[in-house]
């Protein structure tokens, strides 16, 4: 066991510090539109754009020769030949810094490539993502120079495939409840790692695991369990793998349990300080989620393109299926959602690349929206293909199965919505608390009261506004800005009504999160479309396709936001609660039907 006094003070070089690093979505909860974070829409330099095109060309050439997603789905495994060809094109080191043998790609480039892989073979994207987005990301962000030199060059070449081991049987969404332990050996040279991690992507391919386990630490005479991160070589004695999990989709990605039994992990392999493991895991997942968003966005575009081609040539009632309005609506909404999903991840990748910005809620939003849109759109594509859509001879059913996982891993969408709401509520909550305290001692707190009242007065008189959206989109900008104001008011009244109890009010959290997420997504489309209008020197006809998507999405987001915020006041929550409680208690969804009696 480790005594905390023996460890150096925690240093957190990469961990988000929200007070110093601004966040667009957190600003929304305060009624602020931090335009400098979302304008101008990011773009690649010419050199970066050229190298991205070269990478995509090289991946497409490789995929044409080696990737058969249907076969991977059938066989549930990648061939060694496919994997080594994939490694040989250099993508395993795409976002590993050049100093350690990687390509050092920006978040924009990395995630665009992620999207291409996702559209080609989602299982391969999971292989790529489990390795780089989460498997060896901890080393890149938190590794010591020695650790990086030791492992990253082999990760970059693909000689060491990495995996991320957080989940356990009893701890999924509640990762802190993990039971794996790491106990410092008597001579202090190593830890003994014990426990079982489940659902580990790449487990069977991996040479290196990033593992999270609890280390007992003595804090002022009391022993506490502190989550700590380690890099563990997969061939260490005491490691064994479970059987390959049978899964609904992404079958070739190799998901298994990993058992650790008295595995000796040298102290040099601890990642970061004792006790920083949970924050390290969150930081890794924060950036990792962006890949799932770009993969989902490109994936939905790919399968819908297949469905559009089919619907264009398939005739029923003497006309192409694509000419029916119920089908056209599916196509158009998918286009608008794809536009928004792309705009959001690209805007967020720009924040990651700028540095110094807290992007945790933005990456969560990108993942939640793109995964749900992708599942919806993929389902619509299947529907457009009719009976063929259901056939295993065609790609639609696999696309539906493959896309489903995106709503579950790297933080389920429920948990991420709660994260967006609760993190967003933090600053307004602190302001109100400060006001509450100030009101108890008004003489000494005139400053706090004054600045709060000034803020409120400003809110009441000057509603927040967009100043950098192109004038052709001013109607949409006005609608969305109005919802920022409405959100901040709703946040304030929810905090006054529930106080700390808001932590347990998920009906409220979900609505606030949905509103904030929709506002961010709409803002991303407005920023993207503005950049396109400016690039076209104001020739709106030339960018009509962009403008239509941005407008349709913004109006949808506006209507949903208004609905969500209104439902905070008028809703059926008490009845929903009663129904759910009855169902859980009775173990039966609904009252008996007349035919059951
Ligand atoms: C194919 C696949 C690959 C995976 N790869 C990896 C990997 O590489 N590494 C790794 O560590 N893990 C991995 N996982 C695990 C994955 O991250 C977890 O499955 C996920 O975090 C959910 O945990 P759980 O399955 O225990 O579900 P639970 O946490 O038990 O959740 C069950 C349901 O309850 C909901 N829920 C839970 N808590 C709350 C709450 N507070 N509020 C509202 N709803 C809540 C959830 O959203 C979900 O709908 C993988 C899983 C799968 C299926």
- Start-to-end CA span in the chain (Å): 62
pLDDT tens figures, 146-204: 999 999 999 999 999 999 999 999 999 999 999 999 999 999 999 999 999 999 999 99
Q: Which of 106, 140, 161 is the last residue of a domain?
A: 161
For 107, phi then psi, to 5°, come to -65, -35
Q: Which atom of ligand 1 is nearest to the CA of 174?
A: 29
CATH of the domain at 482: 1.20.140.10
Domain region containing 268: 163-276
Can you tell me whether residue 209 is helix, strand or coil?
strand
Q: Pick the atom of ligand 1 nearest to 171's CA.
A: 26
Using pLDDT thresholds of 50, 70 and 90, give the confidence band for residue 3: very low
Residues 128 and 112 in one domain: yes
Q: Is the CB of 509 under 6 A from ligand 1?
A: no
Q: What is the pLDDT of residues 361-384, one digit of tens each?
A: 999 999 999 999 999 999 999 999
Which among 300, 302, 296, 315 has a CA at the least distance from the CA of 386?
315
Chain centre to alpha carbon of residue 167: 17
* Domain membership flag for residue 10: no
Question: Averaged over 510-532, what is the pLDDT?
Answer: 98
3-state secondary structure (DSSP) of residue 223: strand
- pLDDT of res. 14: 45
Q: What is the pLDDT of residue 432?
A: 81
**Closest C-alpha to ligand 1, atom 52:** 199
Band of the pLDDT at 118, cuts 50, 70, 90? very high
Give the model's pLDDT for residue 94: 97
- Which of 235, 256, 276 terminates a domain? The answer is 276
Domain assignment present for 5 = no
Residue 16 has a pLDDT of 52
> Which stretch of 224-228, 340-344, 429-433, 548-552 has the lowest confidence by average pLDDT?
429-433
DSSP string, 516-542: HHHHHHHHHHHHHHHHHHHHTTT-GGG
How confident is the model at residue 433, as a pLDDT? 80
Mean pLDDT, residues 13-23: 64
> Distance, CA 447 to ligand 1 centroid (Å)?
46
| pLDDT attached to residue 454 | 54
What pLDDT digit, counting tens, does each position of 65-81 carry?
Answer: 999 999 999 999 999 99
Please tell me whether residues 88 and 207 are part of one structural domain. no
Question: Are both 286 and 260 inside the same structural domain?
Answer: no
What sign does the dihedral 163-169-174-176 (CA atoms) show?
A: negative
Quick one: pLDDT band at residue 431, thresholds 50, 70, 90? Answer: confident
Instruction: Single out the residue in 360, 379, 414 at which a domain terminates.
Output: 414
Q: How far out from the chain centre does Cα 116 lie?
A: 17
Residues 131 and 239 in one domain: no
Residue 576 covered by a domain? no
Buried b (16+ CB within 10 A) or exposed e, 143-154: beeebbebbbbb
**Under a CB-based contact definition with an 8 Å cutoff, are residues 479 and 508 in contact?**
no
Give me the torsion for CA of 95, 412, 208, 235, rounded to 10°: -160
> Closest residue (by CA) to atom 31 of ligand 1?
173
Q: Does the C-beta of 415 come closer than 6 Å to ligand 1?
A: yes
Question: Looking at the structure, do residues 346 and 430 belong to the same domain, yes or no?
Answer: no
Instruction: Report how far ligand 1's centroid is from the alpha carbon of 258 (Å).
Output: 17
**More confidently predicted of 429 and 261:** 261
Q: What percent of the chain has pLDDT over 70?
A: 92
Q: What angle do CA 178, 179, 180 make, to 5 degrees?
A: 105
The answer to whether residue 315 sits within a structural domain is yes
pLDDT reported for residue 438: 65
Q: Are residues 391 and 380 part of one domain?
A: yes
- 52 CB near ligand 1 (under 6 Å): no
Residues 410, 364 share a domain: yes
Is the alpha carbon torsion for 152, 158, 159, 162 positive or negative? Answer: positive
Strand positions, DSSP E, 310-426: 315-316, 319-320
Does 62 fall in a domain?
A: yes
Ligand 1 and 165: CB distance under 6 A: yes
Question: 368 C-alpha vs ligand 1 centroid, how far in Å?
Answer: 14
Residues 268 and 346 in one domain: no
Give the contacts of 342 (CB within 8 A, at least 6 positions apart): 294, 297, 528
Pick from 330, 396, 392: which is nearest to 321 by CA? Answer: 330
Q: Is 169 in the pocket of ligand 1 (CB under 6 A)?
A: no
Q: Taking residues 340-351, report their average pLDDT.
A: 98
The residue-averaged pLDDT of 52-62 equals 98
Residues 132 and 93 in one domain: yes
Closest CA to 202 of 193, 212, 194, 210: 210
pLDDT at 481: 98
The confidence score (pLDDT) of residue 367 equals 98
Residues 497 and 553 in one domain: yes
The reply to whether 11 falls in a domain is no
The residues pairing with 40 across neighbouring beta strands, listed in sequence order, are: none
412: exposed, middle or buried (Cβ count in 10 Å: 0-12, 13-18, 19+): middle
Query: For the chain, what is the mean pLDDT?
Result: 93
pLDDT digits (tens, 9 = 90+) for 140-161: 999 999 999 999 999 999 999 9
Segment 526-553 shows an average pLDDT of 98
- Ligand 1 midpoint to CA 412 (Å): 6
Domain count for the chain: 4
| pLDDT for 10 | 33
CA distance 324 to 330: 10
Task: Quote the CA–CA distance of 93 and 212 in Å, as a whole number.
Answer: 23
pLDDT digits (tens, 9 = 90+) for 476-506: 999 999 999 999 999 999 999 999 899 999 9
pLDDT at 590 over 80: yes
Best residue among 171, 172, 503 to mutate for probing ligand 1, ranked by most atoms within 8 Å of CB = 172
Q: Given pLDDT bands bounded at 50, 70 and 90, which one contains residue 4?
A: very low
Label residues 173-204 b or e (16+ Cβ within 10 Å = b): eebeebebbbbbeeeeebbbbbbbbbbbbbbb
- Looking at per-residue confidence, does 241 or 6 come out higher? 241
418 lines ligand 1 (CB under 6 A): yes
- Kindly state whether residue 578 falls inside one of the protein's structural domains: no
Q: What per-residue confidence (pLDDT) applies to 277?
A: 97
Same domain membership, residue 409 and residue 425: no
Catalytic residue of the set 410, 476, 492, 532: 410
> What CATH number corresponds to the domain at position 178?
2.40.110.10
pLDDT for residue 441 is more than 50: yes
What percentage of the chain has pLDDT greater than the value 90? 89
> Residue with the nearest Cα to atom 26 of ligand 1?
172
Known catalytic residue at 337: no
192 shares a domain with 182: yes
Rounded to whole angstroms, the Cα distance separating 268 from 536 reads 55
| Atom number of ligand 1 nearest to Cα 167 | 11
Residue 74 lies in a domain: yes
pLDDT of 591 > 60? The answer is yes
Q: Is residue 436 predicted with pLDDT exceeding 90?
A: no
b/e per residue, 37-50, with b = 16+ CB within 10 A? Answer: bbbebbebeeeeee
Å from CA of 175 to ligand 1 middle: 9
Q: Cα(139) to centroid of ligand 1, in Å?
A: 24
Closest by Cα among 313, 369, 323, 324 to 344? 369
């Amino acid at each position: 066991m480790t005594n905390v006094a023996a460890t150096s003070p925690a240093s957190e070089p990469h961990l988000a510090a929200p007070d110093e690093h601004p966040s667009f979505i957190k600003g929304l909860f305060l009624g602020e539109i931090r335009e400098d974070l979302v304008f101008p829409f990011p773009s690649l330099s010419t050199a970066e754009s050229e190298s991205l095109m070269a990478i995509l060309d090289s991946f497409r050439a490789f995929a044409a020769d080696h990737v058969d997603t249907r076969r991977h789905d059938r066989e549930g495994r990648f061939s060694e030949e496919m994997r080594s060809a994939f490694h040989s094109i250099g993508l395993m080191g795409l976002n590993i810094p050049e100093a350690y043998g990687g390509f050092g790609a920006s978040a924009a480039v990395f995630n665009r490539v992620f999207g291409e892989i996702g559209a080609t073979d989602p299982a391969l994207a999971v292989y790529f993502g489990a390795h780089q987005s989460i498997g060896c990301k901890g080393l890149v962000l938190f590794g010591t120079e020695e650790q990086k030199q030791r492992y990253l060059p082999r990760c970059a070449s693909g000689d060491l495939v990495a995996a991320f081991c957080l989940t356990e049987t009893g701890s999924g969404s509640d990762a802190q409840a993990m039971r794996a332990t790491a106990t410092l050996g008597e001579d202090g040279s190593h830890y003994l790692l014990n426990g079982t991690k489940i659902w580990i992507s790449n487990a069977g391919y991996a040479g290196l695991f990033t593992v999270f386990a609890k280390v007992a630490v003595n804090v002022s005479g009391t022993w506490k369990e502190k989550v700590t991160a380690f890099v563990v070589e997969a061939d260490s004695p005491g490691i064994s793998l479970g059987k390959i999990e049978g899964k609904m989709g992404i079958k070739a990605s190799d998901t298994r349990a990993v058992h650790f039994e008295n595995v000796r992990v040298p102290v040099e392999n601890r990642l970061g300080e004792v006790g920083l493991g949970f924050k390290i895991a969150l930081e890794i997942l924060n950036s990792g989620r962006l890949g799932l968003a770009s993969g989902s966005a490109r994936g939905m575009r790919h399968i819908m393109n297949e469905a559009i081609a089919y619907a264009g040539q398939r005739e029923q009632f003497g006309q192409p299926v694509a000419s029916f309005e119920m089908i056209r609506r599916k196509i158009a909404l998918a286009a608008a959602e794809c536009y928004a999903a792309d705009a959001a991840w690209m805007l967020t990748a720009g924040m990651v690349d700028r540095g110094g910005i807290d992007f945790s809620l933005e990456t969560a939003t990108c993942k939640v929206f793109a995964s749900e849109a992708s599942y919806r759109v993929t389902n619509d594509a299947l529907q457009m293909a009719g009976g063929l859509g259901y056939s295993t001879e065609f790609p639609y059913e696999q696309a539906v199965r493959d896309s489903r996982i995106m709503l579950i891993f790297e933080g389920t969408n429920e948990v991420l919505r709660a994260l967006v709401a609760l993190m967003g509520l933090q600053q307004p909550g602190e302001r109100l608390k400060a006001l509450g305290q100030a009101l108890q001692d008004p003489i000494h707190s005139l400053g706090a009261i004054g600045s709060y009242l000034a803020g409120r007065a400003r809110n009441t008189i000057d509603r927040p506004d967009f100043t950098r959206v192109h004038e052709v989109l001013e109607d949409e900008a006005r609608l969305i800005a109005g919802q920022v104001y409405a959100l901040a008011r709703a946040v304030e009244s929810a905090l006054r009504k529930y106080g700390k109890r808001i932590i347990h009010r998920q009906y409220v959290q979900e609505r606030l999160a949905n509103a904030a997420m929709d506002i961010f997504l709409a803002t991303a489309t407005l920023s993207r479309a503005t950049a396109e209008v400016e690039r076209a020197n104001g020739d709106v006809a030339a960018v009509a396709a962009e403008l239509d998507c941005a407008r349709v999405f913004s109006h949808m987001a506006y209507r949903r936001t208004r609905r969500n915020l209104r439902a905070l006041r008028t809703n059926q929550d008490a009845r929903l609660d009663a129904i759910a409680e009855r169902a859980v208690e009775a173990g039966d969804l609904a009252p008996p039907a007349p035919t059951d009696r």
